[in-house]
Amino acid sequence: MSEQSAATTPGSEGGSPAAPSAAVAAAAWESLFRAQVALMRRFTREDVWGPLSVQEYDVLFALSRAEGRTLRLRDIHEHGLLTQPSVSRLVDRLERRGWVTRGPVAGDARGVAVTLTDAGLELQREVGRRHVRSIQRLVGGALDRDELLQLQDLTQRLRAAQADLPDA
């Protein structure tokens, strides 16, 4: 479908953008969702994770990008797709292995801060380098540079459009 036909309705004045139909939005969502599922299945099967699961790596990655390498436990939960009890168990496993520590949150008696240790950061970087090579092969091998930049722009716009919606 051409860019113009996707963005305008027949007979619209001056080619102004029109709201997409529910069918077009649903087809785009299904395509995005199925692509993500297919890629996650491939990434999960890749021999890059070492002693980590994909979910454990995701937590270490989120912590590595956080200020002070620390996030509240609830922020880790909101970052990923796991339930709160699952995140707590996952953090327990990471803590037992010495890759994260737990501590109090200043001014919040119920809050729990999770901090990435130096050993956890070293492991995240090691696994991350291998994972990036997988991404390059599976995603970069399917799209050219301009398409990757367009995909990044589109997915950032989708995420930004959801920022003000409350989580259920």
Q: What is the rounded CA–CA span in Å between residue 116 and residue 96?
A: 13
Place of tokens 């737990």: 102
**In angstroms, rounded to a whole number, what is the distance separating the alpha carbons of residues 29 and 90?**
30
pLDDT tens figures, 1-60: 444 444 444 443 444 478 889 999 999 999 999 999 999 999 999 999 999 999 999 999
Tell me the pTM.
Answer: 0.78
Please give the CATH number for the structural domain made up of 23-155: 1.10.10.10
Q: Determine the pLDDT at residue 165.
A: 65
Residue-wise pLDDT tens digits, 48-103: 999 999 999 999 999 999 999 999 998 998 877 677 788 999 999 999 999 999 99
Both structure tokens of 91:
């953090």
Q: Where are the domains of the chain?
A: 23-155
Residue 106: band (very low, low, confident or very high) from pLDDT cuts 50, 70, 90:
confident
Query: Which H, E and C letters describe 87-146, residue by residue?
Result: HHHHHHHHHHCCCEEEEEECCEEEEEEEEECHHHHHHHHHHHHHHHHHHHHHCCCCCCHH
DSSP-based three-state secondary structure for 49: coil
Strand locations in 21-166 (E): 70-72, 100-105, 108-116
Q: Which residue has the higher pLDDT, 9 or 135?
A: 135
Look at the chain and count its residues: 168
